[in-house]
């Protein structure tokens, strides 16, 4: 995660250096809503259209027009029209009219979305004023945090479990035996960490091919989650059981997402960042469940 944050900060610094911007703005701060520039959050700055011509301020800076005037050169043609012509000419020079002309819906990966957001943010800050090194660091931290916190796609509910009203020792014993019988089919002789160690050759190179080894682990994890959802659970243990199921599901998604490195790098990096803390949570959740089971059996 630290390497990723450093890489992001480096990109920000590089952009400002190339644009000869001075790093000086002590009023920047990180608000609860997100990275702030002065008294405004970045989200508000990014969507700002001061002159109301339909072109965002940061984008006007990229095209060389004045964000404070609808018609920068006072020639009777609005900036929005002139920028649209420039975009059209650019698309034609690339050999096509683009998805917006054909009516096709653009399909973006999380990496595509992140890249656009990142560079629009950098352009926005460049247009908005000067900033100091502390603000650059906060920007890097904010973007790194965004990558790290990709939400879980599936969250199981208690209603999806087979919960028993019977909390007798016999029922708990049966449940405990069922847990012991949930064994990974065709277990691999390696772990996710083993694969990642092969994947990261050095700080500049990776071996994408080794990620195929994760397929067997994904299959085993999916079988485990399915089995955990299906077994009957005593009501007194249902909440802890559900916690184990959901953290298993998170880890399953992490491993699946790591496989997407070539097609969606941001998702893969996010999964790698989340994997270690999620496995710690799994270990803690399992320990808590097993301790409770033992206490109930000993009473």
Q: What is the pLDDT of residues 55-101, one digit of tens each?
A: 877 677 667 788 889 999 889 999 889 888 877 775 565 454 444 44
Question: Do residues 126 and 216 share a domain?
Answer: no
**One domain for residues 281 and 173:** yes
- Tell me, what's the pLDDT at 212? 95
When divided into structural domains, the chain yields a total of: 2
User: pTM score, two decimals?
Assistant: 0.61
Is residue 216 within 8 Å of residue 149, measured between CB atoms? no
> What average pLDDT does the structure give for the chain?
75
9 and 119 co-located in one domain: yes
| Same domain membership, residue 252 and residue 183 | yes
Strand pairing report for 162-164 and 232-234: parallel
Do residues 48 and 89 share a domain?
yes
pLDDT tens-digit readout, 165-179: 999 999 999 999 999
- Report yes or no on 230 lying in a domain: yes
Helices (H), the chain: 2-18, 42-46, 57-63, 79-93, 99-102, 110-128, 133-148, 169-181, 192-199, 214-230, 238-258, 265-298
- 153 within a domain of the structure (yes/no): no
Query: What confidence category does residue 133 fall into, taking pLDDT thresholds of 50, 70 and 90?
Result: low
| pLDDT value of residue 117 | 63
| Separation CA 42–CA 31 (nearest Å) | 10
| 9 shares its domain with 135 | yes
Backbone angles phi, psi at 103, to 5 degrees: 85, 5
* Measured distance CA(247)–CA(220) in Å, rounded: 15
Residue 135 and residue 6 share a domain: yes
In a domain, 277, yes or no: yes
Closest CA to 234 of 180, 168, 297, 155: 168
The answer to whether residue 242 scores a pLDDT higher than 50 is yes
What pLDDT shows up at residue 82? Answer: 87
pLDDT (average), residues 116-124: 60
Same domain (yes/no): 78, 189: no
The answer to whether residues 116 and 163 belong to one domain is no
Answer left, alpha or beta for residue 166, where phi above 0 means left and psi between -120 and 50 means alpha. beta
* Residue 274, pLDDT above cutoff 80: yes
Domain boundary at 148, 178, 200, which?
148
172 shares a domain with 136: no
Q: Say if residue 66 is in the same domain as residue 193.
A: no
Q: Which of 148, 174, 193 is the last residue of a domain?
A: 148
Instruction: Evaluate whether residue 45 is within a structural domain.
Output: yes
Q: 266: domain range?
A: 158-298
Q: Are residues 173 and 110 in the same domain?
A: no
């Amino acid at each position: 995660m630290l390497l990723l944050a450093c890489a992001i900060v480096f990109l920000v610094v590089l952009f400002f250096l190339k644009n000869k911007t001075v790093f000086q703005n002590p009023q920047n701060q990180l608000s609860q809503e997100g990275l702030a520039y002065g008294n405004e959050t970045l989200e508000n700055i990014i969507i700002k259209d001061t002159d109301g011509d339909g072109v965002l301020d940061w984008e006007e800076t990229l095209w060389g027009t004045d964000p404070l005037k609808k018609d920068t050169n006072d020639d009777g043609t609005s900036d929005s029209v002139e920028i649209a012509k420039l975009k059209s000419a650019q698309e034609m020079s690339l050999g096509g009219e683009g998805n917006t002309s054909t009516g096709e819906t653009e399909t973006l990966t999380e990496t595509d979305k992140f890249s656009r957001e990142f560079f629009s943010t950098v352009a926005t800050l460049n247009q908005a004023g000067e900033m100091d090194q502390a603000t650059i660091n906060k920007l890097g931290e904010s973007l790194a945090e965004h990558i790290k916190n990709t939400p879980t796609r599936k969250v199981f509910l208690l209603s999806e479990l087979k919960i028993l009203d019977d909390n007798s020792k016999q029922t708990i014993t049966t449940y405990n035996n069922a847990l012991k019988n949930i064994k990974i089919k065709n277990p691999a002789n390696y772990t996710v960490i083993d694969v990642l160690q092969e994947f990261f050759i050095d700080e500049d190179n990776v071996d994408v091919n080794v990620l195929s080894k994760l397929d067997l682990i994904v299959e085993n994890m999916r079988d485990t989650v399915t089995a955990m959802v299906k077994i009957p659970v005593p009501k007194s243990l249902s909440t802890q059981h559900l916690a184990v199921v959901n953290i298993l599901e998170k880890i399953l998604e992490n491993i699946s997402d790591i496989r997407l490195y070539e097609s969606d790098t941001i998702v893969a990096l996010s999964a790698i960042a989340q994997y270690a803390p999620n496995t710690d949570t799994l270990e803690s959740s399992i320990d808590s469940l097993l301790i409770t089971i033992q206490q109930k059996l000993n009473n």
